[in-house]
Structures are given as structure tokens and as C-alpha cells.
A and B are shown apart, each in its own frame.
Chain A
Amino acid sequence: MTAVLRRTPLYDQHVAAGAKLVPFAGWDMPVQYEGVRQEHHAVRTGAGVFDVSHMGQIVTRGPGALSALQHMTTNDVSKIQVGGAQYGLILRPDGGVFDDIFTYRLGEEDYLTVTNAANHPTDFTWFGHHAQTGAGELDLELVDAAEDYAMLAVQGPKARGIVAGLADIELPKRFHVATGNVAGVSALICGTGYTGEDGVELLVAPADAPAVWDALLAAGVTPVGLGARDTLRLEACYHLYGNDMDAGRNAIEAGLGWAVKEATGHIGSEATAQFRAESTAEVLVPFSLTETGIPRGGNPVVGGGVVTSGTFSPTLEKGVGLAYVPRDRSAVGTEFTVDVRGKDRAAIVEARPLYQSPDLA
């Protein structure tokens, strides 16, 4: 069977910019334009724009919205102020990670949750099933808003300045959200990203996305594909769902315990509390190779453990990755060996993040 790949509203822009398009989570997405390394450095030193319109959105609104989100997601949603944003997880009852998400509070009783593209359909089904299995009958509305938004991430030390020049409001601070016009179209402007650089993410109507994209490129922003998105997020030690955690891993071993507040009584809270109390056999750590070679996801750690993400770091100019290792060998500076397709490569546990932007320090 040949699957039909979905196209984002920016497909023509990608073709015009010379993108190489590849299938990703059912979408035809740009993996690179000029080249991964060049695009990576553009984001570290200037400004880059990513089309992340494949990501999903779920609206939860109404008097019961907060209770439902506290039940279905792991972080303490009551801590999000109107105009705020928060990272969280969706867990299975056994504590396995179902997805990682960002939730924005757009109004008193109005929340927008951004989901991973591959998980969005199951996330929405999960929300629909579990929103009403909390405490009593909740008065709320759930909307699958994935078709309502295109999403552009503008990232890098110069990103805010360039977007500010196209916007009619003061940009929201990091982990905040505001509504304004960008390049003449209405946008949700979010002070978030997935690169380890400052910047914003813009949610706009699909029909408006090309105008925003064109204005950003005209202002000197570099188009950046999924290839550099992966090297950037890995240097920043941001997890990639499906690689670094999935339903077979819990939040504690994934190093995401900080985003789980068991006291809220969410789904998976009891299991997580137990993992936290008893600790886990393995834990996810960042690492680099101390010799040549490039680790890749799936490479075994000699003596136990596995690499879940690996790449060549364009900033550090060496092989880096994330790996599950035995907890007693997870301290920063611990040396270990990765089996890279049959060759032993010396590695060392690094501090998180592998790359720290001075703008976010």
C-alpha cells in the first residue's frame, strides 16, 4: 500500500527554497535546504525558521478544563497563569510515557495543548476518553484543532528581534504566549522552542502561513529542515518522543521527573511515585564520544544500556547522543563504550545540556 503523504500549507515554499522532502510521521517534510550543518549554525548564530505544521493542537476549554488537564497530563496545570506555557507529559496508568506536550493557557478556562504529530490522533482519542473519567461530570469542550493551525518556529539569537520587527505587539517572554499580528496576520505568539536558543513559535491560520514564511525569509531568516532540528535539539538535550522515551519507558528513568507532579493525582501518578521512590535501573544521560565515530539510536552500550539518539554535533564537532545507562554508571564524567555497528567507541557521560546558549543561561 502506498501511503499518501500530507503536505503542510508551506509545501510550495519548501519546494521554492530548494528543500529535500522526506516522509515524516505521515507528512512530506523538509529535511534540509542548503545543508544540515549550515542550517544548524544559522540557528546558533542568527535566526532560522522551521515549518512544524505537522504538530497537533488540542483545545480544552470550559469550567472543567483545568480539572481535566490535571487528570490527563502530568505537570501542575494550575500553576500556568493566563498567557503562560508549561511542558508536561501524558502517561499511561503504568507510568509509560504516552506523549510529551506543551500546554498554553490562552484564557481563564481556555487551554491549547501542542502534541507530537505521530501521537496526535491517539492523544485526542485519549483526551476524549479520559477527560470525563476524572472527578465527577466536567463541563468542558475538547476540540481537535490540528487543522486550524500552521506552526512556524523562529529560533536563534536574532529570532526575537526579527519577529518583533514584523509584530504589532511586544513579544511574550520565554514560556509565555500572546495574540498579535505578525506580518499582518493574526498569530498566537509563543515564547517556546526546541533548539536550545531563544525564539518564538507562531501558530497561524493555514492560509496565512505562506505570508508569514515569506516575510521571515525576506527579513533574513534562514529556512531550516528537520535534519538540523534534530541536531539542535540533541545539543540542547531535549527529548524526542519515540527515540528517547516511549510507552516502554517511565518519566523517572527518562529524566523527566521534574515535569511530573504526582500530587495532582493525574493518570500514572501512582506508578511514577513508586518509580521515584524506588529509583530505576537505568537513566537517560547525555554523552559524547571521545574518539572518532558517530553514535546512532539503537547502538548498544557495552555492559548494558542503549543509545536512543545520536548524531554528529555541528557545534561541538564530535559524536554526541542520549543513552540509557545503568544508574550506578550515570555520573557525569563516567567513561563507557558504545558499540557503533560492531566497533567499540569510547564515550563519556556529559553534563546537561551539551550546548548552552548564552541567551538562555
Chain B
Amino acid sequence: MADASYPDELLYHDQHDWARIEGDTAVFGITWYAQDSLGEVVFFDPPAVGTVVTKDESYAEVESVKAVSDVIAPLSGEIIEVNDSLADNPEQINDEPYDGGWMVKVRLSDPSESSALLDRGAYVATLS
């Protein structure tokens, strides 16, 4: 697994999810801490494109050998793309939580919600 990292350019949700905001869309995934806590991910159950997701609510499930965990949406919107490669290679969530392990791309319904998210420093402070 990769070493612990929390990129500066992302915004974080305290349930260990990240958002990479690009205009009125955002890409979501889970943080290094989340994948490390889960252990080796063996199954990602993605939502369908077109699904409406709500900030702070579950939009997908990720499973390791030992446990299942809900994935929480850091922001609200409609899913416009899903990382299909995770179906065959869910270990990308462990190996590259911020790159190959991205989960969904969302058209944001309320971009101002991002003001409630944490920057890198504030998120890392929650981990200690």
C-alpha cells in the first residue's frame, strides 16, 4: 500500500472522503486513512449514473475481506460518471486512493456546500 498522504488540492469530509472540485462538478473518493482502516478492498459496489446523492449520506459501499463500509458523499449532486475499472481492480482504492481509486464524478447541485468541508490541515487534525 501507498504511504499516508493527503493532497493539498482536495477538500475533505470528516467521514474520510475527499472531493476534487472542478467548476460545477466534483470527483469523490475515500482518503488514505479510510482505505488503511478498511484493509485490502475486494469489492466496490458503485451507484448508477444518474443517481442523485446527498451530502453526508451514503452513495456506495466498499468492502474489504473483513468488513463493509458505507461511502459518504461529501457534497450533493447527480452522478455523471462512475469509475468502472474498480469493478475488476478494487485494489486501486488502496494503491491510489486519490488517482486510480476515484469512485464517482458528480454534477454539484449546490457548490456552496463545499464551504462546510475541511482543508488538508483541518482533516489531518481530526485523525490524531
* A35 on the B face (CB < 8 A): yes
Instruction: Assess A312 versus B65: contact at CB under 8 Å? Given A227-B39, A293-B45.
Output: yes
B63 interface neighbour in A32, A40, A227, A294, Cβ under 8 Å: A294
B123 interface hit (Cβ, 8 Å): no
Q: Is the CB of B45 within 8 A of A314?
A: no
A292 partner residues in chain B, CB cutoff 8 A: 43, 45, 87
Interface string of A6-41 (1 = CB under 8 A from B): 000000000000000000000000011001110010
Whole-angstrom distance between the Cβ of A138 and the nearest chain B Cβ: 45
Within 246-296 of A, Cβ neighbours of B (below 8 Å) are at 292-294, 296
Are A37 and B87 in contact (CB-based, < 8 A)? no
Known: A36-B40, A293-B43, A312-B42. A231 touches B68 (CB 8 A): no
Contact B66 A227 (CB under 8 A): yes
How many residues in A have their beta carbons less than 8 Å from beta carbons of B?
19
Q: Considering only CB atoms and an 8 Å cut-off, how many residues of chain B contact the other chain?
A: 12
Contacts A32-B39, A294-B42 hold; do A37 and B68 have CB atoms under 8 A apart? no
Residue A195 interfacial (CB < 8 Å): no
What is the minimal beta-carbon distance from B55 to any residue of chain A, in angstroms?
A: 21
What separation, in Å, do the CA atoms of A292 and B42 have in the docked complex?
10
B64 an interface residue at 8 Å Cβ cutoff?
Answer: yes
Query: What 0/1 readout, one digit per residue, does chain A (304-324) give for beta carbons within 8 Å of chain B?
Result: 000000011010000100000
Give B65's nearest chain A residue, CB to CB: A36
Q: A341 within 8 Å of B by Cβ?
A: yes
* Contact call B68/A341, Cβ cutoff below 8 A: yes
- In the complex, the answer to whether A36 meets B66 with C-beta atoms within 8 Å is yes
List chain B residues, Cβ under 8 A from A343: 45
Complex CA distance for A311 and B63, rounded to whole angstroms: 10
Q: Which of B42, B43, B66, B68 contacts A32 (CB 8 A)?
A: B66
A231 CA / B68 CA spacing, docked (Å): 15
B64 engages A36 (CB within 8 Å): yes
Q: Are the CB atoms of A341 and B61 closer together than 8 Å? A: yes
Contact A296 B68 (CB under 8 A): yes
Q: How far is the CA of A296 from the CA of B63 in the complex (A)?
A: 11
What B residues does A40 contact at CB under 8 A? 65
Give A36 to B94 CA distance when docked, in angstroms: 14
| Chain A residues whose CB sits within 8 angstroms of the CB of B87 once the complex forms | 292
Which chain B positions have C-beta within 8 A of A311?
65-66
Task: Give the residue name and chain of the A residue nearest to B70 (CB).
Answer: A341
B residues 13-49 in Cβ contact with A at 8 Å = 39-40, 42-43, 45
> Which residues of B, 38-84, contact A by the 8 Å Cβ criterion?
39-40, 42-43, 45, 61, 63-66, 68
When chains A and B are docked, how far (Å) is the Cα of A294 from the Cα of B68?
A: 9
Residues of A within 8 A of B64 (CB): 36
CA gap between A36 and B1 in the complex, in Å? 13
B39 contact set on A, CB distance < 8 A: 32, 35-36, 227
Contacts of A32 in B (CB 8 A): 39, 66
The answer on a CB contact under 8 Å between B43 and A314 is no
Best-buried of A35, A40, A343 by chain B (most CB within 10 Å): A35
**When the two chains form their complex, are residues B68 and A314 in contact, meaning their CB atoms are under 8 A apart?**
no
Q: Can you report 29 residue pairs joining A to B where beta carbons are below 8 Å apart?
A: A32-B39, A35-B39, A35-B40, A36-B40, A36-B64, A36-B65, A36-B66, A37-B40, A37-B42, A37-B65, A40-B65, A227-B39, A227-B65, A227-B66, A292-B43, A292-B45, A292-B87, A293-B43, A293-B45, A294-B42, A294-B43, A311-B66, A312-B42, A312-B63, A312-B65, A314-B65, A319-B43, A341-B61, A341-B68
Chain A: residues with CB nearer than 8 A to chain B? 31-32, 35-37, 40, 227, 230-231, 292-294, 296, 311-312, 314, 319, 341, 343
Residues of B in contact with A (beta carbons under 8 Å apart):
39-40, 42-43, 45, 61, 63-66, 68, 87
Among all A-B residue pairs, the 10 with the closest Cβ atoms: A36-B65, A312-B42, A227-B66, A294-B63, A35-B40, A312-B65, A37-B40, A294-B43, A36-B66, A37-B65
Assuming A230-B66, A312-B42, A312-B65, what are 13 further A-B pairs, CB within 8 angstroms?
Answer: A32-B39, A36-B39, A36-B65, A37-B65, A227-B65, A292-B43, A292-B45, A294-B63, A294-B68, A311-B65, A312-B43, A319-B43, A341-B61
